Amino acid sequence: MATKTKYETTLTLPSDREILMTRKFEAPREVVWDTLTDPDLIPRWWGFARDVTEVKKMDVRPGGEWQYITRTSGGEVVDFHGTYREVKRPEKLVYTFLFGDMEPGEGFVEITLIEHGGVTELRDRGVFNSKQERDAVIATGMELGARETYERLAELLAERVG
């Protein structure tokens, strides 16, 4: 997919158990936050454009559950789900992230939003139970999916701040 917006998604591996993705968006962080946490907007930016995502649950509060079902263009159905651990609007969201039959454990995702002059940097830090689990997630092609997801999010944000 060709990049259409100004910023790129970067991916680094800060430790054996982490993936850190960063991306800047030309939108105030409140708008980014609202877009990330609105169940009606998730299907417009989550995952690959060729797939269809349905939000089954999205209770954005500590202890609240979330679940998205994605139907891939290849006919696969993937269940993404977890529990919110920390919700600090509009700057930080921490939740468990499981898909398929992935075993629960100590892993989590931490989303941090930092705004500078109308541009919001999103830091998406995934912490996994082990290096093997992290590497297995990378092997699924998640980097390509994350890049397209954040490109789609950038396009939706541009539309919303218009």
Asked whether the predicted pLDDT for residue 15 surpasses 70, the reply is: yes
What is the b/e burial string over 114-142, where b = at least 16 CB atoms within 10 angstroms of the residue's CB? ebeeeebbbebbbbbeeeeebeebeeeeb
Average of pLDDT values for 3-23? 90
Q: Is there a contact between 25 and 120 (Cβ–Cβ < 8 Å)?
A: yes
Mean pLDDT, the chain, rounded, equals 93
Asked whether the predicted pLDDT for residue 3 surpasses 80, the reply is: no
Average of pLDDT values for 32-42? 98
The reported pTM is: 0.92
CA distances from 99 to 28, 33, 113, 130 (A): 30, 23, 24, 16
Q: Is there a contact between 97 and 85 (Cβ–Cβ < 8 Å)?
A: no
Average of pLDDT values for 15-20? 97
Is pLDDT larger for residue 22 or for residue 98? 22
Average of pLDDT values for 37-64? 97
Domains and CATH numbers, the chain: 10-161 (3.30.530.20)
- Per-residue pLDDT, 4: 59
CA angle 142, 121, 81 (to 5 degrees): 40
